[in-house]
Structure 1
Amino acid sequence: MEGAPARGPSVVIEDLELTYRIYEDVKPTLRKLVAQRFRPRAFRAVEAVRGVSLTAQPGEAVGILGRNGSGKSTMLKCLAGLLPPTGGRVYARSTPVLLGVGAALQQELSGRRNIFLGGTALGIPRKELERRYGEIVEFAGLGGFIDMPMRAYSSGMKARLHFAIASTVTPDVLLIDEALAVGDAEFKHKSQERIVQLLGEAGTVFIVSHALGIIRDVCSRAIWLDKGLIVMDGPTEDVAKAYEDEVKRTQS
């Protein structure tokens, strides 16, 4: 991932491609097991993202739609620098912050310790974390659970804590992967308000979600991915309606 120019778009993706090599899962037999000792295992290539190009501007919220396996989360991981693309380029004004349900916080540590651990990993000074600790705990709504190990948390509690930590700072680019789909109505309202605040400060947000209501409420633009390709890119309502119609057509 390369830095974007100081002015202009916050994110530019050019002909992004990512191909996985997956070993074939063949039902083993004695003959096949013996044969595999003398030749390499067979594998197949899976094109998770194929030639995706897009540009996002400061203050823009972009929703990413698509069925499971369409390449949505893979694209966000490439944008976050977690997966190196096999082709194309990704430019970002600064390092994007990826917020997902499976966020890498320490399950054996308490929520309190994870606030400082996760905040430090995001580059937030300890003094700033101490100053805003109460605000983070209140936003996450964990109450007495804040001193319990995270392995005791539900997926919704984990998502609330991670969002509260990640949004303590104002990242230039925030990537949200299904993290808003697991909270209750109050948390969704608070998180959407914070996203709007971020957009007002010229941040850029990408949201992956199967909950079209969230995409419609927050995003002015949507991108529909299918089998790693962009099917449609435009105003949220236009893309969401076309996607819904296609889902209904294939299910009927």
Structure 2
Amino acid sequence: MAEPEPTPTVVVDGVHITYKVHGTKGGRGSATSALSRIVSRKSAPGVREVHAVKGVSFAAYKGEAIGLIGSNGSGKSTLLKAIAGLLPPSHGRVFTRGQPSLLGVNAALMSDLTGERNVILGGLAMGMSREQVRTRYDDIVEFSGINEKGDFISLPMRTYSSGMGARLRFSIAAAKSHDVLLIDEALSTGDAKFQRRSQRRISELREEAGTVFLVSHSNQSILDTCDRAIWLESGTLRMDGPVAEVIAAYDEFTGKGGKGGKGAEGAEGGKRG
């Protein structure tokens, strides 16, 4: 009997994302000059348009863990925001099955509240019921490792290091299953022990029929966690395929795997439509 067709969870179809960056050069200017620009339809000085993602297309499927790699400013985080529905494409479309959940190191928890209160509020924000949060509370705190060196969970979040905050955010998000979980640099701030726990939890999320996207500057984290990688460079999709092959090509392109530049040429041949 033929195997059933895999179910797509995310389809990115010819997506372009353009946004404006407002610089501070020249100050605010006068109200008169601002009105003059509005009437003449001219852009304010210091405003520039950034074409962050350029015609990217791919499909993701249930059970996949996909790493997004590329140089700084290549469009990885911007693309995650578009998949999460937080940033509308300028052209093209994004289709998702179920509700995507974006987890980043800057995800909003309340710094003046204790870790305990943030676990409760964060769990509710992730769609858990109060009973579910109550049942999973101890597991969330233990997973995060927040209390390994003291009773930090009872202290305000503003007293936490960036790594502690990132671990707690991931622990809250990982406490429930997700149709699509988008992780932006949240694993790079933890120690080796926490990263191993995180990788095991991501494997469990995949087995629960979810799809995981991971952005990380650590190629080793991508290799350890993902089976597929998408390489973005200057907003364009350079390669999409098995994680080891994509990272090898990217390392060659950046000079980590030999002479730079050569990997990008080979990468074009490995791109999926």
TM-score (norm 1): 0.90
Match of 1:80 among 63, 84, 92: 84
Q: Does 1:71 align with 2:75?
A: yes
Percent of matched pairs sharing the same residue: 50
Matches of 1:90 and 1:207 in 2, distance apart?
18
1:200 to partner: Cα distance: 1.1
2:145 corresponds to 1:141: yes
Q: 1:104 to 1:23 in 2, by over 3 A?
A: closer
Is 215-224 or 40-49 further displaced after alignment? 40-49
1:95 and 2:99 equivalent?
yes
Determine the C-alpha separation between the residues in 2 that align with 1:113 and 1:22.
35
Give runs of aligned pairs for residues 104-119 of structure 1, distance below 5 A: 104-119=108-123
- TM-score scaled by structure 2? 0.84
Please name the residue that 2:53 is paired with: 49
Q: 1:163 and 2:170 equivalent?
A: yes
Cα displacement (A) at 1:210 = 0.8
Aligned to 1:245: 252
CA displacement, residues 93-139 of structure 1 (integer Å, 9 cap, x when unaligned):
11111111111111110000001101111110001111111111111
Report the alpha carbon displacement of residue 48 of structure 1 after superposing the two structures with TM. 0.6
Which residue does 1:177 correspond to in 2?
A: 184
Structure 1 counterpart of 2:18: 19
Q: Which residue of structure 1 lines up, in the alignment, with residue 8 of structure 2?
A: 9
For residue 205 of structure 2, the aligned residue among 180, 198, 206 is: 198
Q: Counterparts in 2 of 1:22-41, with a 5 A limit? A: 22-23=21-22, 26=25, 36=33, 38-39=36-37, 40=42, 41=44
Where structure 1 has 5 or more consecutive residues not aligned to the other structure, the ranges are 1-6
Name the counterpart of 1:214.
221
Separation in 1, partners of 2:252, 2:164: 34
Residue correspondence of structure 1 range 119-134 to structure 2 within 5 A: 119-134=123-138
Q: For residue 8 of structure 1, what is the amino acid of its counterpart? A: T
The equivalent of 1:62 in structure 2 is 66
Q: Measure how far apart 1:24 and its partner are.
A: 5.6
Offset, 1:201: 1.4
Q: Give, in whole Å, the separation in 2 of the partners of 1:123 and 1:82.
A: 17
- Amino acid paired to 1:225: L
Residue 154, structure 1, aligned to residue 158, structure 2: no
Q: Does 1:227 align with 2:226?
A: no
1:4 matched residue in structure 2: none
